């Protein structure tokens, strides 16, 4: 059961990350309802550098965020399927998904919306139960 819960939690992260990447590049779901916001973002740079615009940075941040969730799933799913002894034998590998989920959950609560919050909360429950089963 510990192995299955870990795979389910990692799969949730992978699905959320993949959906986020698709929404970033192939839909307008992350565009503002007010078109002037996107126009303003496309017309100004951050104070850090003039080598990009706020719009390009926004797209890049969304894409890298997606890739992080997808990468996490791409590591933990095969690790859990083929080398579960590594996870079971390491407090670090058994608790890292819990820690990561708590961080993402806080971000979801503070800055995002209901769907990622519910998905991340569900993954956190899976990871926490898995870690409990592994470490007791």
For 18-65, write each residue's pLDDT tens digit: 999 999 999 999 889 999 999 999 999 999 999 999 999 999 999 999
Judge whether 111 and 120 are in contact, CB under 8 Å.
no
Q: How far are the Cα atoms of 35, 83, 99, 126 from residue 2, in angstroms, in the given order?
A: 47, 13, 17, 9
pTM exceeding the 0.85 threshold for the entire prediction: yes
- Residue 87 has which token pair? 């996870």
State the residue for tokens 């979801």: 108
What is the sign, positive or negative, of the torsion defined by CA atoms of 65, 17, 91, 109?
positive
């Amino acid at each position: 059961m510990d192995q299955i819960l870990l795979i389910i939690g990692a799969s949730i992260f992978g699905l959320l990350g993949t959906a986020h990447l698709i929404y970033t590049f192939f839909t307008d779901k992350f565009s503002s309802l007010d078109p002037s916001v996107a126009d303003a973002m496309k017309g100004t740079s951050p104070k850090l550098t003039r080598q990009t615009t706020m719009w390009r940075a926004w797209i890049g941040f969304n894409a890298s965020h997606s890739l992080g969730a997808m990468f996490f799933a791409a590591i933990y799913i095969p690790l859990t399927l083929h080398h579960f002894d590594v996870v079971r034998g390491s407090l670090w590998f058994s608790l890292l998904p819990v820690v990561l989920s708590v961080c993402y959950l806080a971000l979801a609560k503070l800055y995002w919306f209901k769907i990622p919050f519910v998905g991340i909360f569900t993954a956190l429950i899976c990871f926490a139960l898995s870690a409990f089963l592994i470490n007791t």
